[in-house]
Amino acid sequence: MKNQVQLITYADRLTGNGLTQLKQLLDESFCGLFSGVHILPFYYPIDGSDAGFDPIDHTQVDSRLGTWQTLSEIGQSYEVMADLIVNHVSGQSNEFQDVLQNGRHSSYWSMFLKETDVFPNGITPAQADMIFRPRPTSCFSPKKLATGEVVNFWTTFTDNQIDINVETDSGKSYLDDVLNLFAKSGVKIIRLDAAGFAIKRAGTSCFMTDETFVFIKQLAEQAHALGMETIAEIHSHYQTQIAIAKKVDRVYDFALPPLILHTLFNQNVDALVSWLNISPRNCLTVLDTHDGIGIVDAGPEGGKPGLLNASEVDSLVQTIHANSHGESLKATGSAASNVDLYQVNCTYYDALGRDDLAYLTARAIQFFSPGVPQVYYGGLLALNNDMTLLEQTQVGRDINRSYLSLEQVHKHLGKPVVKGLCKLIKLRNSSAAFNGEFSVQGAQSSLTMKWQNIDDFASLEVDLSKRVALLTTGDTHQAQTIDLADLLN
């Protein structure tokens, strides 16, 4: 993977004209900005109950977006990341519909995980309480077979996302087929979506069990053999992330987004500096994604202290709500149809109160943090909360999943904050310093981040109390210093 900025986007929500239009944007309007692109689920259908993360057919590109050949063409110029939806498949899939019709006689019966697969004698209340899940309701959904039999199928996320039994031959075969198709179609990076939930064991949290680590390692080895690398997508306590990072190619630094917000809100860098001194180096950094802003990644868990304490987490959430004038509150928790109760749904730009300088400072800190940076299309264009879409769908995460026309994209590209961000991206991409050694220091309102690669260096000096951020890049022969405020002019 190249150590340059990557784009995260939907192929349908950015201009609405699919993969061909996406490639044109990358080549023209976004020229020089991105070395790779994470194309969010483009499988059939893109407009299911979870925006493509509930595929009816994981091996079919939705015809409204293009074909596998179109994807391959993008892969000739950019590193393409695609989602391997490890944990589940749509209840409308041919495989699950066959199970409903034929029950135990279906050739796909073993492909789907049932309560009795893990709890042969039924689950007890104590066992149920141990299970970690992203929604407040039961992790099982009763489904009536054609025979009249009612079976409890495991549904970690929604009632329409039926968990795969990845330890059976049919479950393995399903994932093998997708992996091989990815490799054939030019995918270079695989995001293991919800892989932390894939292996369930009675008497455990059924999340990131020892067996899960083994499973992820095996998937990674399969991908390597096909010429691809893997990214583990797991929201968890920061100590778990550090442990996971030692076992996979890369992880997401999901603690970074809330920590940067905390830093800017409180004009105090201490928690951020502590994290950057111990954070995994083999990571992808993000501020925003198609999901909400993660909170669990920086907070305490049970008896384990977090990077932020409970009161700091509460203050962080309340400040986001205040900065967004209550809009995020309407999209978070039980306020809308959310499956991710540990996240706040809000654009990162609105979380910062639409403060252009604070937003560029946040991006600069992200780009200087260890890891390969990714920028979500909503973040690239500094979009506001989409309250119209939220009102239409009543899906909390849609507040940050706008549908845009090509004309709207070009309009947003003309905003000073977006122009400044594009300049910042190009500076990050052009410096060889970021392939060197990282160091960070700071206290209270002062932060200094440095990269040194033989003669090349880059530094970011931030004084939060004075609202000044200076970025310096160069080598032993010459250097240039840029005030981030000047990028807005």
* All structural domains of the chain with their residue ranges: 6-86+168-434, 94-162, 437-488
Torsion of Cα atoms, 95 then 99 then 101 then 106, to 10°: 100
98 is catalytic: no
CATH architecture of 6-86+168-434: Alpha-Beta Barrel (3.20)
233 is catalytic: yes
Question: 329: which 2 tokens?
Answer: 């509150």
pLDDT of residue 335: 58
Residue 97 marked as a ligand binder: no
pLDDT of residue 191: 95
3-state secondary structure of 240: helix
Q: Are 370 and 251 in contact (CB under 8 A)?
A: no
Q: Are 436 and 390 in contact (CB under 8 A)?
A: no
Dihedral sign (CA 169, 171, 177, 179): negative
CATH class of 94-162: alpha beta
pLDDT of residue 339: 41
- Distance separating alpha carbons of residues 6 and 402, to the nearest angstrom: 19
Catalytic residue among 62, 95, 115, 233: 233
pLDDT tens digit at each of 489 positions of the chain: 999 999 999 999 998 789 999 999 999 999 999 999 999 999 999 988 888 899 999 999 999 999 999 999 999 999 999 999 999 999 999 999 999 999 999 999 999 999 999 999 999 999 999 998 877 789 999 999 999 999 999 999 999 999 999 999 999 999 999 999 999 999 999 999 988 899 999 999 999 888 998 999 899 999 999 999 999 888 888 998 898 888 888 999 999 999 999 999 999 999 999 999 999 999 999 999 999 898 889 999 888 999 999 999 999 999 999 999 999 999 987 654 444 456 899 999 999 999 999 999 999 999 999 999 999 999 999 999 999 999 999 989 999 999 999 999 999 999 999 999 999 999 999 999 999 999 999 999 999 999 999 999 999 999 999 999 999 999 988 999 999 999 998
- Distance separating alpha carbons of residues 169 and 92, to the nearest angstrom: 21
pLDDT of residue 137: 83
Residue 341 marked as a ligand binder: yes
Residue 224 marked as a ligand binder: no
* Spatial CA neighbour of 219 closest among 234, 235, 207, 230: 230
- Distance separating alpha carbons of residues 454 and 158, to the nearest angstrom: 51
